[in-house]
Amino acid sequence: MAKGWLFSPAAWSQFALLVVAYVLARYLAGKLTPKVSVFLTPKDEGAKGIVNEVRRFAVLFLPLGLPLLAYVLTGLGEGVTRSIFGSGAVIAFGKRVFLLLAVRALVHSILKDPFLKLLGKYALMPIVVLYTLGVLDPVMVKLSTTIVGAGNIQFSLLSVIRGLIAGSILFWLGRWSTGQSRSYIVAQDSMRPATRELASKAAEVAIFGLSFLLLMNIMGINLSTLAVLGGAIGVGIGFGLQRIASNFISGVILLIEGQATVGDYVELDGGEKGKIVKMTARAAILETFDGRWIVVPNEDFITTRVVNFSDSGSANRFEVAFSVSYDTDINKVPALIEAAVSTHPDILDLPYPADCELRGFGDSGIDFGVEFWVNGLDDGDNKYSSDVLFLIWNALKDNNIEIPYPHQVVEFKNGLPR
């Protein structure tokens, strides 16, 4: 019977239609793909905007043209064969093969993200292969009737697989959405840094919270059962997670009040100091000028004294000390040094200009100090104190003012020893 069907006009006509559909799809793809590519590709490679981004994204899917055209043409031929012969098994199988080729092109040529490529290779491709062979429905029924679990918690194997796949996709989308939202929020220069960071964290919590709820719904878990889990989490926070909860709440307070945010240079009471390069839900990461990263719990910013050198772009005052000889007319020194220091391009006139003050009378010379204000820190790329000392040295040398060095006088009461 099978042999007779194989050599029947219905079977051969369907084989012929498959061949014709593939040849015609190949011809059309060869003609249309270059034209569509030219139409979709922006003339200016660096052009920005949503429309240009959508056009670049659409170009990536051109490799799907051949198998999808073959799939559509085969579908048209399937209607013809069923109306004439009342059968379309061969051509229906051919449609599924063309769909498999489209998915294969998607996984191997279009998907660039490592996670999506891995998901397509080990999840999407096996599903489409089972569909092509016509055994997907029996396999789904078998998986749905196979129960796994521990104790009172039981799931069908199909629910577990579906949850793993859906969870992977949802949390990948969550991570991608978080990155996109963070980039958009950070680009809003009109917002304060603390507000931008708070909005970014709020978007992250909202996105992953929604992803979690969707995953629970996909797996068929009743959300009302999470009340028990919430009670368990509350007990855990009360006993073992109170420091984590404290750090999380402290981080929210920091973001709301804006006392310290990303980009600020801070010094804590414990001696830790550096530039805040990242603020997480649990801690802030400080980067020192020697390249080290210090992880500081958010709670330390609330419960200890914190010195912020950069908040709201405020200027900082620094001071360098120097000495002159006792033979110097010290009345001329302040004006001379203030004029020299003021020539530095980074020294500010506001809130106060450079100020040279007499500090005391030392053992070897007369001690002075010059105070100056700058927008920045005297460390890392900035060498304000070093530059000011160079200016002081040159100014004193140009005016023949001696810079003393330590010396001692030894006195013998009974004359020189013999």
d(CA 32, CA 15): 25
Residue 390 has pLDDT above 80, yes or no: yes
Q: Are 18 and 59 in contact (CB under 8 A)?
A: no
Percentage of the chain modeled with pLDDT above 70: 80
d(CA 175, CA 173): 5
Q: Which segment, 111-115, 334-338, 408-412, is predicted with the most confidence on average?
A: 334-338
For residue 297, list its beta bridge partners: 283
Average pLDDT for residues 361-376, to the nearest whole number? Answer: 90
Residue 5: pLDDT band (50, 70, 90) is very low
Min mean pLDDT across 66-70, 124-128, 197-201, 286-290 is at: 197-201
- Pull the structure tokens for residue 20: 């014709």
297 phi/psi in degrees, rounded to 5: -60, 140
DSSP labels for 238-258? Answer: HHTSHHHHHHHHHHHHHHHH-
Residue 52: pLDDT band (50, 70, 90) is confident
Residue 323 has pLDDT above 90, yes or no: yes
Instruction: Kindly give, in sequence order, each residue whose CB lies less than 8 Å from that of residue 12, ignoring residues fewer than 6 positions away.
Output: none
d(CA 4, CA 273): 86
Min mean pLDDT across 41-50, 97-106, 378-387 is at: 41-50
Q: Is the pTM of this model over 0.85?
A: no
d(CA 41, CA 195): 38
| 401 or 416, higher pLDDT | 401
Q: Are strands 316-324 and 366-374 parallel, antiparallel or unpaired?
A: antiparallel
Min mean pLDDT across 102-116, 124-138, 149-163, 167-181 is at: 149-163
Instruction: Kindly give, in sequence order, each residue whose CB lies less than 8 Å from that of residue 343, ignoring residues fewer than 6 positions away.
Output: 391
d(CA 294, CA 302): 17
Q: How would you classify residue 400: left for phi > 0, otherwise alpha for psi between -120 and 50, otherwise beta? A: left
Tokens 């043209």, residue located: 65
Q: What is the CA radius of gyration of the chain?
A: 38
Residue 171: pLDDT band (50, 70, 90) is confident
pLDDT in tens, 29-50: 888 888 888 777 777 766 676 7
Work out the number of other CB atoms within 10 angstroms of the CB of residue 285. Answer: 16
CA of residue 58 relative to chain centroid, distance? 25
DSSP labels for 33-53? Answer: HHHHHHHHS-SSTT--SHHHH
pLDDT computed for residue 344 by the predictor: 92
Residue 260 has pLDDT above 90, yes or no: no
Amino acid (1-letter code) at residue 335: A
